[in-house]
């Protein structure tokens, strides 16, 4: 089968490798759709993310859907928690210190034709959800977890600072909660999509009850803290390039802000599937580019330039 491995910054290579053999409790999955995430771009550009560094040729990709050997279409949770630690037992598998994650560290991800994955991490897809939609359920799950941390109430004014795919999903959830959404986004096509989804552009001096920073950029963090009302809540969702987030402590202290950092997701796949199947969240219009596996390098080039919104790779070409 074909795999795509990153060897160094910007160095993606195709390999011919044996089909994976499922271990006990695993299922062999033919990968049908893989989304390129902002964290994948960190690996592609920097050969790492945060304190994790590339130490061997790695298969990237953690937003994915596929078909099992028995023919069942599935979305795949990329995080394999230990289920034994204190955090897991407390219901926080996203905070598991022993977690294994697709396309991160030593565990290969989904940019390959087949993958063997724990059966308990596979979620059945209804016919109304396409393969590309299925790959979008992972970023929707991330958005759902961040949204939960915001503790929104109907009638609030809520800011989303950064309108990449995660920000665009968060703003849709804000609308479902009966809150008003204002946004910032420097890229015109992303701002246009946010406005199509019901948001208005934030203006300096406009106060919000809750702020979601979804850009991984300290300028967006500053805007979020400046915008939020005293006693408000700021949820940091973006991953910064230099692994550093800074803000004015005096401002945050004076306002008495609650600052929450969002880590991946927990127990959100069933909700994400229902929201998409019912048409309450639109993931399909966020997919702007689709490429076969052999054009993965081109797809990453487009994603690095922030063209379009979500880019999907189809390892089996359908």
pLDDT per residue over 264-313, tens digit each? 999 999 999 999 999 999 999 999 999 999 999 999 999 999 999 999 99
C-alpha span between 238 and 234 (Å, rounded): 12
Query: Tokens representing 254?
Result: 């004076």
**pLDDT tens-digit profile of 218-236?**
999 999 999 999 999 999 9
Fold of 142-261: Rossmann fold (3.40.50)
Q: Is the pLDDT of residue 251 over 80?
A: yes
Percent of the chain with pLDDT over 90: 97
Q: Which two tokens stand for residue 173?
A: 């959830």
311 membership: H or E segment, kind and range: strand 310-314
Q: Is the pLDDT of residue 178 over 90?
A: yes
Higher pLDDT, 148 or 316: 148
Q: Indicate whether 58 pLDDT > 70.
A: yes
pLDDT tens-digit map of 240-250? 988 899 999 99
Q: CA 185, 187, 189, 191: dihedral to nearest 10 degrees?
A: 10
Distance between CA atoms of 292 and 259, rounded to whole angstroms?
A: 40
Dihedral sign, Cα of residue 95, residue 100, residue 104, residue 105: positive
d(CA 310, CA 123): 21
Question: Can you tell me the distance from the alpha carbon of 33 to that of 1, in angstroms, rounded to the nearest whole number?
Answer: 16
Q: What sign has the CA pseudo-torsion 291, 295, 298, 303?
A: positive
Enter the tokens of residue 236. 């940091």
- Residue 241: its pLDDT value, please? 82
Copy the structure tokens of residue 240.
């910064």
Q: What gap in Å lies between CA 98 and CA 87, rounded to an integer?
A: 10
pTM of the entire predicted model? 0.96
Residue 247's contacts (CB-CB under 8 Å, 6 or more residues apart) are 218, 221, 222, 225
A 10 A CB-CB count for 153 gives 12
Domain ranges of the chain: 2-136+283-314, 142-261
At residue 255, the pLDDT reads: 98
User: What integer pLDDT is reported at residue 318 of this predicted model?
Assistant: 62
Closest CA to 149 of 51, 62, 259: 259
Mean model confidence pLDDT for the chain:
96
Query: What's the pLDDT score for residue 242?
Result: 82
pLDDT in tens, 133-146: 999 999 999 999 99
Domain 2-136+283-314 sits in which CATH superfamily?
A: Medium-chain alcohol dehydrogenases, catalytic domain (3.90.180.10)
């Amino acid at each position: 089968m074909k795999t795509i491995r990153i060897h160094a910054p910007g160095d993606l290579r195709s390999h011919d490798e044996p089909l994976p053999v499922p271990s006990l409790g695993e299922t062999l999955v033919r990968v049908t759709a893989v989304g390129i995430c902002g964290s994948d771009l960190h690996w592609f550009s920097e050969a790492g993310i945060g304190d994790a560094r590339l130490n061997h040729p790695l298969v990237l990709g953690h937003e994915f859907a596929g078909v099992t050997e028995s023919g069942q279409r599935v979305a795949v949770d990329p995080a394999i928690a230990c289920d034994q630690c204190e955090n897991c037992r407390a219901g926080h598998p996203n905070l598991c210190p022993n977690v294994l994650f697709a396309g991160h560290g030593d565990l290969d991800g989904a940019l390959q034709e087949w993958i063997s994955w724990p059966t308990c991490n596979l979620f059945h897809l209804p016919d109304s959800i396409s393969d590309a939609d299925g790959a979008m359920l992972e970023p929707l799950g991330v958005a759902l977890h961040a949204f939960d941390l915001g503790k929104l109430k109907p009638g609030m004014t809520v800011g989303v600072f950064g309108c990449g795919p995660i920000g665009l999903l968060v703003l849709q959830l804000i609308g479902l909660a009966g809150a008003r959404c204002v946004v910032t986004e420097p890229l015109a096509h992303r701002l246009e999509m946010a406005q199509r989804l019901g948001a208005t552009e934030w203006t300096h001096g406009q106060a919000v009850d809750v702020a979601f920073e979804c850009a991984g950029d300290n300028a967006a963090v500053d805007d979020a803290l400046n915008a939020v009302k005293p006693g408000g809540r700021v949820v940091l969702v973006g991953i910064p390039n230099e692994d550093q987030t800074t803000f004015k402590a005096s401002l945050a202290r004076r306002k008495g802000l609650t600052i929450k950092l969002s880590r991946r997701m927990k127990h959100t796949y069933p909700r994400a599937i229902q929201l998409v199947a019912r048409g309450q969240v639109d993931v399909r219009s966020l997919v702007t580019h689709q490429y076969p596996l052999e054009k993965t390098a081109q797809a990453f080039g487009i994603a690095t330039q922030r063209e379009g919104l979500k880019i999907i790779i189809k390892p089996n070409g359908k």
